[in-house]
Structure formats: structure tokens, C-alpha cells
Amino acid sequence: MRTTRIARIAGSAVAVTALALTAGCGGGDSGGGGGEGGGEASTLQDAIDAGTITVGFAGEVPYSFEEGGELTGATVALHREIFSELGIDEVEGVNADFGALIPGLTADRFDAVSAGMSILPERCEQAAFSNPEFMYTTALMTPEGNPEDLATMDDLVDTDLNVATMTGAIESDYATSLGLSNHSEVSTPQDGMDAVSTGRADVFALTGISLNSMADNNPDAGVEVTESFVQEIDGVPQVGAGGTVFRTDDSELLEAYNEKLDEIVADEERYLGIVGDFGFTAEERPDGSLTTEMLCEGDLPTGDE
């Protein structure tokens, strides 16, 4: 049967929840060393031998989140599909703040990050990203009626509006680059929505699909979401994509994962069959115009898309 375990990340105040996603015993030895040299088994082989791999997640709808005590979401669904094809039947989730995911990964607290994380140059210096899994755009959550008539984050420049973003999310970088004076960070998407609904923030910026999912699931929250947009910074459209994150020395696991991921992304019907139930459409399916290498180098297209 499925199991739930509670643990605490050593050296931090973050409580973590480990959740078995698929049937089977709740063994936790997933092979966290990651090294493939020196005669040691690789993370991939360790996970295959144990039948279990551990992923870190941050509770962001619709990528990876808890529902009814179980871990679910679009990224989780991809992981179930891909890891099972690699011979790993069980995936365990470890809940952590978004900003603690890469540090937790590099400290061997889990084997991969399951959070639809944006592929950014500074993150690529710390960890290795899969090929793109989702294309993303930004949106704004405002009080119902959008009283300030906001459309993009440019509308927040030179105002005294209180702007919330999530720690570690790309929208926090946008806020810094735009010089927003009344900018604060929250730990979770729920915290951002609560800040808007209680009047502590005038706007919460996050990926459009996340905000729309939250608004749809909380119809009485008194919030609404703007149309999604591609934010421009210094005249450059910030087109982007998210992927699964691995340790830099887990090249065998990364390559095996990418091979299965590419097969799924290439087949629109199969892709949507896995992630469509979480609100993803063909618009979010990577089209090949952005590669992980381009995103890691910050080599963004200068066109509209």
C-alpha cells in the first residue's frame, strides 16, 4: 500500500514529507550519492536495484503538490511514466521550500527535483537540467476586478503597489531587474494567493498555469488572474521552459531520462495524455525552439516567442 513518511532536512528548519507515489514497500534507500566513478554504483543503477527514486518538490499546483495525502501533478505524472520505463517502480517525494530544492539535491537529500523548475543560467551552474518539459509564461494574480488594471510586470514599475513573488522563482528575478520598490517574497504559491486575498499584497506574480489552477480551485478567494504574457527585461522577451533537475555528476540518469522524455514530447497525444489532466495544453508542449543549452547560456530568442 502507499505510505507516508515524515522527516526533517538536516541543518535546516524546513520540515519535509516523504510520500510513496506508487504501490510497493516504502523503502528509502534510493542511492543518493550520485557519483559514477571510483567503482561506485550510479544513482540510476541504485534506483533500479532499490525500485525507488526520491524527488524533491515544492507544492506548486499544477506541477507537483499534495492532494489527499498523495503527491500528484503534471511533473509527477511525467516522472511516474519515465521512471517506470527505466525500471524504477516507486517514486518518493520530499517536500521543501522552492528555494531549498537545488541545495537539497546537491546535498543528496533527494535524487532529482520534480517542480517544473525554470531552466536559468545561474541554476545550470549548480545542477543539470533535463530537456525542456514545459514552456511557460507569467501572469499576475490580483484582487477580483483587477482594480489597478494590470497587464504585465511593467505596470508595476514606479508604483507603490505591494508585489509578491515566490522565493527562487523567475518572477523574483524579474522584480529585481525592474527595480520594483515594494517587492516581497513568499515561500509557497498558497502564501502568495493568501497575501492578495487578505490585502497584504496588491499582486502576486507567478507562472500563468499555476495561478490559473489556484484561482480555479479557490473560487471564493476573491482573486482573479490576468492573461498570460512574456515579460520583457531590457527589451528581451523572457521566453522560458522548465525541466527536471539532477546532480551534475548524474549524467547516466540524466541521459536515460532525456531519452524517454524526448519520446513523450515528440508525441503530442501521448504528452497531453500524461499532463493534460492538470491543465496543460499543446501550447505548453516544447516545440524545439528552446533547448536546455540555450537556456543555460541565457541565449534567448529576441522575437515574440
pLDDT of 145 over the 60 cut: yes
Look at residue 239 in the predicted model and tell me its pLDDT: 83
Percent of the chain with pLDDT over 70: 85
Q: What are residue 224's DSSP bridge partners?
A: 142
Lowest mean pLDDT among 28-32, 87-91, 185-189, 250-254: 28-32
Q: What's the rounded mean pLDDT across residues 105-113? A: 97
Q: What's the rounded mean pLDDT across residues 171-180? A: 96
pLDDT of 137 over the 70 cut: yes
Output the CA–CA distances (angstroms, integers) from residue 68 to 4, 19, 71, in the order listed.
11, 11, 8
CA dihedral (42, 45, 51, 54) positive or negative:
positive
More confident call, 34 vs 169: 169
Look at residue 27 in the predicted model and tell me its pLDDT: 34
Would you state the cell numbers that stand for residue 104, as one nine-digit string? 537539497
Q: What single letter denotes the amino acid at residue 223? A: V
Q: What's the rounded mean pLDDT across residues 84-97? A: 95
Lowest mean pLDDT among 11-25, 95-109, 241-255: 11-25
Residues 6+ apart with CB under 8 A from 305: 230, 237, 239, 289
Max CA pair span of the chain: 62
In angstroms, the CA 203 to CA 217 distance is 18
Q: What's the rounded mean pLDDT across residues 25-43? A: 50
Band of residue 26 on the pLDDT scale cut at 50, 70, 90: very low
Band of residue 299 on the pLDDT scale cut at 50, 70, 90: confident
pLDDT of 171 over the 60 cut: yes
Fold: same for 4-135+240-297 and 138-229? yes
Domain segments of the chain as ranges: 4-135+240-297, 138-229
More confident call, 145 vs 60: 145
Q: What's the rounded mean pLDDT across residues 142-156? A: 98
Whether 59 and 49 have beta carbons less than 8 Å apart is answered as no
| Residue 200: DSSP 8-state | S
Whether 164 and 201 have beta carbons less than 8 Å apart is answered as yes
Would you state the cell numbers that stand for residue 257, as one nine-digit string? 531520462
Q: Which residues of 273-294 are buried (b: 16+ CB within 10 A; e: fewer)?
A: ebbeebebeeebbbeeebebeb
pLDDT of 3 over the 90 cut: no
Look at residue 40 in the predicted model and tell me its pLDDT: 66
CA dihedral (227, 228, 234, 235) positive or negative:
negative
Of 132, 131, 93, 133, whose CA–CA distance to 113 is shortest? 93
Q: How many CA atoms lie within 13 A of 21 on its CB side?
A: 30
Lowest mean pLDDT among 109-113, 213-217, 236-240: 236-240
Q: Which residues of 168-188 are buried (b: 16+ CB within 10 A; e: fewer)?
A: bbbbbbbbeebebeebbbbbb
Q: What's the rounded mean pLDDT across residues 138-142? A: 97
Residues 6+ apart with CB under 8 A from 175: 153, 156, 163, 165, 183, 205
Burial (CB count within 10 angstroms: exposed 0-12, middle 13-18, buried 19+), residue 235: exposed
Residue-by-residue DSSP string for 81-105: HHHHHTT--EEEEEE--GGGHHHHH
Class of domain 4-135+240-297: alpha beta
Look at residue 301 in the predicted model and tell me its pLDDT: 66
pLDDT of 12 over the 50 cut: no
Q: What's the rounded mean pLDDT across residues 166-180? A: 95
Q: What is the pLDDT of residues 43-62, one digit of tens each?
A: 999 999 999 999 999 988 89
pLDDT of 263 over the 70 cut: yes
Residue-by-residue DSSP string for 14-31: -EEEEEE-SSS-------
Whole-model pTM?
0.75
- Homologous superfamily (CATH) of 138-229 is Periplasmic binding protein-like II (3.40.190.10)
Look at residue 289 in the predicted model and tell me its pLDDT: 87
pLDDT of 210 over the 60 cut: yes
Q: What single letter denotes the amino acid at residue 5? A: R
